[in-house]
Structure 1
Amino acid sequence: MNVSPSPLWLALATAVTAPAFAADSNNDVIEEVVVTADFRQTDVQAIPEATTVVGADAIEQRSADHLESLLALAPNVNFSSGASRGRYFQIRGIGERSQFVDPVNPSVGLRIDGIDMTGLGGGAGLFDVQQVEVLRGPQGTRFGANALAGMINIESNGPTEAFEGMVSAKMGNYNSYAYGAALSGEVGPGLQLRLAAQQNVSDGYMHNAYLNRDDTQSIDEELLRLKGALALTPNNQLDFTWLYINVDNGYDGFSLDNTRTTYSDNPGEDKQNTRAAALTWTSTAAAAFDLRVHVSGSNSTTDYGYDEDWGYGQYDDTTGTCVVVGTCLANQEGAWGYSSTDQYLRDYRRRELDIRLTSAEAGRLFNDSADWVVGYYQMSRDEDLLRYFFNWDTYMDATFTSDLGTDARAVYGELTISVTDLLTITAGLRGERWTTDYRDSNGIDNDRSENLWGGKLTAEYLLSDSQLAYASVARGYKAGGVNTDPDISEDNRTFDTEYNVAWEAGLKSSLLDDQLKTRLAAFYILRKNQQVKSSYAVANDVGAGYTFQDYLANAAEGQNYGLELESDWALTDELSWTFSGGYLNTEFLDYQYETADGTFSMNGREQAQSPKYSFANSLAYAFVSGLSLTLENEAKDSFYFSDSHNEKAKSYVLWHARVAYDAANWQLALYGRNLTNVDYEVRGFHFGNDPRDGYTNQRWVQYGEPRLYGVEGKYFF
């Protein structure tokens, strides 16, 4: 079922921003929440930009085990699945939706414990995580080319001086279970370690009628993480992380009946194996500045594949009868079935170096009124692809290989000047040299180098001790690249760098003796040379199935603008209310794309993955006895799945609940997600793939999680 939120409900939800009654003076003050992804660790209420921080308590209240389950808590943030997990993210309508053959320069970055995991969101588990930070808007100064739309930063719990540990277990429907443990403490003079491990397993939420299996979309995810902190001297510290992620999920997400029942004879896989490490040296020995040297590296392999025909390829064009006993997928005379699979094996190798100087008190400039940051960044990435597919031109199984090498060198700086006691101006700038080298087995050979730059200018004004207003203009960038389809025209062979100019104004307030905290932002983004994924289906010569032609093109311009509101309200000592809401309007100002049927104009149409509204509410009540109840909902307006067709996801509202009992050193909870069992849509296409109707173009969708429920427990020591 699908339920659309009414305007009345939206009005009631946003009413949290108006302090309608005086708060009890004995209420608990909401704790400070620090953003770790900033140059200087800053409270979320003091950082002059739109940032969402989802802490460990909110993760626990959602019983969330993957990043996709949390994104609704950040305004104007969306994700696209097309896999076992949502691994492609969009912020304010900007971001990729998939990756098949072509190399992709992402618009939304993902970092886990200081390690670049951009484009590898399938491994974004949440076990033993301290917080998730979502920075919205171009992050050109801090992160450069990977953060045109924003950055998602996951920070796990760090090691502790005191010895502590935790074991956890979870069981739920769909044969779901998880178990994990974390152990932390000082193991030697000045050396603290934290070790965390978890396995998360589920049959998944699809039934394969042809194979009579319920696990073709299974979840099997393993995590092992070691974090350490070593005090070399009183002014020098080493922090290090070693990370192992093993994802062995199935992928069987689309049905010829648009249901949760599939008929695939060769279900796909969605695997990821990552080994990564990071080392950070921090020195405060100099009087004028602090030094931070960060190095990280990762090796990842992914295996992503699917059954293209979503069936078992049977046909009988003379009698119209089924060849295979069972559900008939080709039951019309003259209907042809086909059978093929598509598989993408990728190897990723990434290395990073970041050297940063941050002013200390003795190094402040202009009569102690200015702080500064300067840094050097170096990055190298290699991405190798091996594709196994059925070539409809030769009517034979085929392979495709490609190699992409990317190198970047950047210098950056930021200056923050206290003009008066109330007014502060911050200017940041980053210059980057971006070089790529691409070649593939189709004979495409393309090298390119370009100079990129971005930055930000921000003014913040302290209206009072409890209210901060700010305004900013930022320039973000995303490098251009090459399209690899050998059949596209040479005019579409390459695409240019996209630049965004974003204006933002905001107000951050702490009201009612700090029991109500609100964050309001308004933004306007002008997209120049907007990179747009164009994909269209071309009928195969044999009359069964379609071949997709994908390429990235540049729209002349696009615009994205909207409002965002977040609030945390301690209504009483026992009751708290958290709200997050976003309004988003997007539009192509000048964009046309070509298909086999001609040229089409998209001028004035909304951009993909851009719901007009999205919001989330959470009410948490803590009983005196240690019992607590959390009731949550999230809603999203309809949105286009793609920029190359007009199919839309339907609007929806989801409800979640959790009842927990907390004792001195253990916790037990019952949870339920998507309680009304809404079939909400996380990926969609428009093409012909059903032999029963002669491969007529129609709407296809993949569904998100159905109703989930279970029990979970933790023991602390």
Structure 2
Amino acid sequence: MSHAYSPRLPHKTFALSALCLALTTNAQAAPQAIEEMVVTADFRATELTQLAASATVINADAINERSAQHLAEILNTAPNVNFSAGASRGRFFQIRGIGERSQFVEPVNPSVGLLVDGIDLTGLGGAATTLDISQIEILRGPQGTVYGANALAGLINMVSAAPSDEFSGEATATVGNYNSYNTALTLSGPMTDTLGWRLALEQNTSDGYQENAYLNTDDNANIDEQTARGKLRWQPADKITLDVTGLYVNVDNGYDGFSLDNTRSTLSDNPGHDRIETLTGSARLQLELSDSINFVGLVSHAQSDTEYGYDEDWAYPDLCQDFNCVVEGEQQYGYNSTDNYLRDIDNTTVDLRLVSSTQAGELGWVAGVYYRDQNEALIREQTYLEGTFTSHFDAESSAVYGQLDIPLADTLTLVTGLRYEERTASYHDSDSASFEPSDDMLGGKIALEYQASDSTLLYTLVSRGYKAGGFNSNNSIAVENREYQPEFLWNYEAGAKFNALNNTLNTNLALFYQDRDDVQTKQSLVTPLAGDSCPCDFPDYTTNATAGSAYGLEAEINWQANDSLVLFTSLGLLRSEFDEFASYAHAKADEDTGTPYDLSGHDLPHAPRYQFTVGGEYFFTEQLFARVEVEGKDSFYFSSRHEAQSDAYELVNARLGYTTRRWEVALWGRNLTDEDTLVRGFGSFGNDPRKAYATEPYTQYGEPRVYGVSAKVQF
């Protein structure tokens, strides 16, 4: 459901409690209808209320109202969507409890796709800045027909604004606590009668939310991000449109997220970093071949250099000298280590399709081919490694796909889709590990759409998604655990979308059940760095659980109560579990099995049982407005290999502003009650010599209370 934040351009949803409050307000003039959102991530641009799938659209007003500079700062407004950090930003995403949480040595097969203007940035969530983004589309459930292996759990599609017909511009500036500054400039207009252009630039800096007691600094987790985006739209004729997009993102953030004392104050002598330099481009051609057939071609390339490093011991060398690390009469000794990962990633995609121009009640079809070439070179620099570890990974994917929309009656349509994908890969590294996996995968969907009225859509959906298998390169992993198989997901869904009260009340509802086969999940071993006792290394490995399942509900409601008041809510309910899975987490590397831990019935990681957002925006006058919202999330497990959990929380966000046609100034705050939120955690990990490296939970904190003032001028 689209998110309604203001009467100017509604874009969010409202809760039943807020509805009761609104019913007590005095009636005013009949409110304007809510503007319909259009989802572009499907084969055809489709109004959200006509899309037979569970989806959320977050538009530019919603991003602005949150003062969100990054995708992770707005993502929680969508039900059953979560993210994990372990970096300076939310880097990995989960939909309905499915998604990755980290990456170290091995290449990752993502479960949640990330597209930015058609450019595949999956796995590079740190680059998902929101400069000039017109809307964020979140499709829940497998997108096995449209996107294939990168969208087992769903897809996040970020779409930037298009060039304007007349010259226009916008300048924004934000100042906030933690020495935070953001400036942005957007210019757009026609170059000729057939060629339009758009350019957006942004600088975003902050000291961050961590302190380092050893170095006596408060900017060890600083934010330093630059984004530049350019677009050209060429329309030499009514039947031809060519869109060319270029994106440059330079992220040079600090990373010092974990503390031995589980606080926001660290003791590291070598604070880490989280760097991304991404240069991308795409070209999309839409050509009307005839009155009934359109050609759509998309070519994109992304070249990304990333560097992710951290202080592995989270301390300084003389820690035990200063703290006298004696445990039960035995002297403990610290260690000193850093770990650094440099990746050079190239990703090229080609997607060509024919799409019928279909009127209501007519047979519709899509036929297409897809190709993806991915190259990833890694250099790992770790203090305890002898020499430098290097690896190289190449993967090629090719697919054919098609969809038929078959009218069964004036109001009933059967939609069938199918995608066949082949993936071949090769991997080799400096430890003499070598793999050449190859997978054939099949996905698709069958949906029944019933248009009960012009304002009501009912649908049922069965869809199948997949992601490729892979391998574990670490030589300490047992031979039988070195390779793992593809994962498949069956999604069963029923939903209803309807408008009421002259299109001032929008409601989206979806019920789903998901059945997973050969669930890919991470485990880890304990490898002593020297001798038979810790300090230890914890090599990750991925394996297949037998199965997993999840079921739940997603609801979003959006009400333009009157010309001055908008109320909104979103709710996600989720129950998930592993089936018949025994974990061998933290078995010693020199043992064959370790002690199994039965995870059958265990919730999936990063899968809170509920999420919600509730709030409203009120205009006291035509210019003066206030907005308040509360977002909440249940506790969730951090991993599939231990019992550590986050805490449930509720956050209060608010904005008070004054707006005119040309300018706006606003005071804003997120997490106003300064609740502690956790975005990454380890449950059975020992890293503190003061405690004889006893295993205990360690967590990374999310955003504390942040506030500031923003100004915007349009010209």
Interval of TM-score (by shorter of Structure 1 and Structure 2): over 0.9
Taking the aligned partners of 1:25 and 1:416, their CA distance within structure 2 comes to 42
Distance change >3 Å, CA 465–CA 52, structure 1 → 2: same
Decide which of 634, 638, 642 is 2:631's aligned counterpart: 634
Decide which of 600, 613, 620 is 1:603's aligned counterpart: 600
Shift of 1:513: 1.6
Taking the aligned partners of 2:410 and 2:361, their CA distance within structure 1 comes to 12
- Alignment match, 1:9: none
Decide which of 606, 610, 619 is 1:622's aligned counterpart: 619
- Alignment match, 1:711: 709
Shift of 1:19: 12
- Alignment match, 2:452: 463
- Alignment match, 1:202: 206
- Alignment match, 2:663: 666
Shift of 1:24: 6.3
Would you say 1:496 and 2:455 are equivalent positions?
Answer: no
Would you say 1:307 and 2:311 are equivalent positions?
Answer: yes
Corresponding residue SS for 1:369: coil
Would you say 1:334 and 2:331 are equivalent positions?
Answer: yes
Taking the aligned partners of 1:71 and 1:580, their CA distance within structure 2 comes to 12
CA deviations over 1:133-185 (Å, ceiling 9, x no partner)? 10000000000000000000000111011110011111011110010100000
Instruction: Tell me if structure 2 keeps the 8 A contact 1:352–1:379.
Output: yes
The AA in structure 1 aligned to 2:575 is N
Gapped regions of structure 2 (runs ≥ 5): 1-13, 589-593
Shift of 1:285: 3.6
Shift of 1:237: 1.7
Taking the aligned partners of 1:17 and 1:570, their CA distance within structure 2 comes to 11
Instruction: Tell me if structure 1 keeps the 8 A contact 2:15–2:568.
Output: no
Q: TM-score, normalised by structure 1?
A: 0.94
Distance change >3 Å, CA 168–CA 19, structure 1 → 2: closer
- Alignment match, 2:469: 480
Would you say 1:386 and 2:390 are equivalent positions?
Answer: no
- Alignment match, 1:284: 288
- Alignment match, 1:45: 49
RMSD of aligned Cα (Å): 1.7
Distance change >3 Å, CA 694–CA 54, structure 1 → 2: same
Shift of 1:302: 0.4
Mean Cα deviation higher: 511-520 or 197-206: 511-520
Instruction: Tell me if structure 2 keeps the 8 A contact 1:579–1:618.
Output: yes
Taking the aligned partners of 1:621 and 1:341, their CA distance within structure 2 comes to 51
Shift of 1:540: 3.2
Taking the aligned partners of 1:206 and 1:545, their CA distance within structure 2 comes to 25
Distance change >3 Å, CA 372–CA 685, structure 1 → 2: same
Distance change >3 Å, CA 357–CA 18, structure 1 → 2: farther
Taking the aligned partners of 1:654 and 1:30, their CA distance within structure 2 comes to 27
Would you say 1:566 and 2:556 are equivalent positions?
Answer: yes
Instruction: Tell me if structure 2 keeps the 8 A contact 1:338–1:544.
Output: no
Gapped regions of structure 1 (runs ≥ 5): 1-11, 323-327
Shift of 1:591: 1.0
- Alignment match, 1:420: 409
Would you say 1:554 and 2:508 are equivalent positions?
Answer: no
Taking the aligned partners of 1:649 and 1:117, their CA distance within structure 2 comes to 28
Corresponding residue SS for 1:60: helix
Shift of 1:490: 0.6
Would you say 1:352 and 2:352 are equivalent positions?
Answer: no
Shift of 1:535: 2.2
- Alignment match, 1:593: 583
The AA in structure 1 aligned to 2:189 is G
Shift of 1:625: 3.8
Would you say 1:135 and 2:156 are equivalent positions?
Answer: no
CA deviations over 1:199-256 (Å, ceiling 9, x no partner)? 1000000010111111110000000110010112221121100110000000001111
Shift of 1:600: 1.9
Instruction: Tell me if structure 1 keeps the 8 A contact 2:22–2:561.
Output: no
Would you say 1:240 and 2:252 are equivalent positions?
Answer: no
Instruction: Tell me if structure 1 keeps the 8 A contact 2:616–2:629.
Output: yes
Decide which of 429, 441, 446 is 1:452's aligned counterpart: 441
- Alignment match, 1:679: 676
- Alignment match, 1:157: 161
The AA in structure 2 aligned to 1:541 is A
CA deviations over 1:617-665 (Å, ceiling 9, x no partner)? 2311122240111101110001000001110011011111011111231
Taking the aligned partners of 2:153 and 2:508, their CA distance within structure 1 comes to 19
Instruction: Tell me if structure 2 keeps the 8 A contact 1:544–1:691.
Output: no
Would you say 1:274 and 2:278 are equivalent positions?
Answer: yes
Instruction: Tell me if structure 2 keeps the 8 A contact 1:311–1:329.
Output: no
Taking the aligned partners of 2:560 and 2:706, their CA distance within structure 1 comes to 29
Taking the aligned partners of 1:59 and 1:533, their CA distance within structure 2 comes to 33
Corresponding residue SS for 2:149: helix
* Identical residues among aligned pairs (%): 46
Distance change >3 Å, CA 13–CA 234, structure 1 → 2: closer
- Alignment match, 1:434: 423
Distance change >3 Å, CA 193–CA 604, structure 1 → 2: same
Corresponding residue SS for 1:517: strand
Would you say 1:576 and 2:571 are equivalent positions?
Answer: no
Shift of 1:13: 3.8
Distance change >3 Å, CA 626–CA 519, structure 1 → 2: same
- Alignment match, 1:443: 432
Taking the aligned partners of 1:296 and 1:590, their CA distance within structure 2 comes to 41
The AA in structure 2 aligned to 1:567 is I
Instruction: Tell me if structure 2 keeps the 8 A contact 1:223–1:246.
Output: yes
Distance change >3 Å, CA 187–CA 386, structure 1 → 2: same
The AA in structure 2 aligned to 1:431 is Y
Decide which of 292, 296, 300 is 2:300's aligned counterpart: 296
Instruction: Tell me if structure 1 keeps the 8 A contact 2:15–2:567.
Output: no
Taking the aligned partners of 1:625 and 1:530, their CA distance within structure 2 comes to 53
- Alignment match, 2:520: 531
Taking the aligned partners of 2:28 and 2:523, their CA distance within structure 1 comes to 56
Would you say 1:696 and 2:694 are equivalent positions?
Answer: yes
Instruction: Tell me if structure 2 keeps the 8 A contact 1:66–1:126.
Output: yes
Corresponding residue SS for 1:649: coil
Corresponding residue SS for 1:527: strand
Instruction: Tell me if structure 2 keeps the 8 A contact 1:336–1:544.
Output: no
Instruction: Tell me if structure 2 keeps the 8 A contact 1:388–1:397.
Output: no
Taking the aligned partners of 1:704 and 1:115, their CA distance within structure 2 comes to 28
Instruction: Tell me if structure 1 keeps the 8 A contact 2:282–2:300.
Output: yes
Instruction: Tell me if structure 2 keeps the 8 A contact 1:236–1:285.
Output: no
Distance change >3 Å, CA 233–CA 87, structure 1 → 2: same
- Alignment match, 1:170: 174
Distance change >3 Å, CA 62–CA 503, structure 1 → 2: same
The AA in structure 2 aligned to 1:606 is D
Taking the aligned partners of 1:69 and 1:200, their CA distance within structure 2 comes to 14
- Alignment match, 1:251: 255
Shift of 1:331: 6.5
The AA in structure 2 aligned to 1:569 is W
Shift of 1:16: 6.3
Shift of 1:544: 4.6
Taking the aligned partners of 1:17 and 1:643, their CA distance within structure 2 comes to 39
Q: How many residues align?
A: 689
Taking the aligned partners of 1:44 and 1:13, their CA distance within structure 2 comes to 20
Instruction: Tell me if structure 1 keeps the 8 A contact 2:492–2:513.
Output: yes
Decide which of 365, 370, 378 is 1:377's aligned counterpart: 370
Instruction: Tell me if structure 1 keeps the 8 A contact 2:15–2:570.
Output: no
Decide which of 335, 340, 343 is 1:343's aligned counterpart: 340
Would you say 1:521 and 2:510 are equivalent positions?
Answer: yes
Taking the aligned partners of 2:17 and 2:631, their CA distance within structure 1 comes to 16
Instruction: Tell me if structure 2 keeps the 8 A contact 1:25–1:513.
Output: no
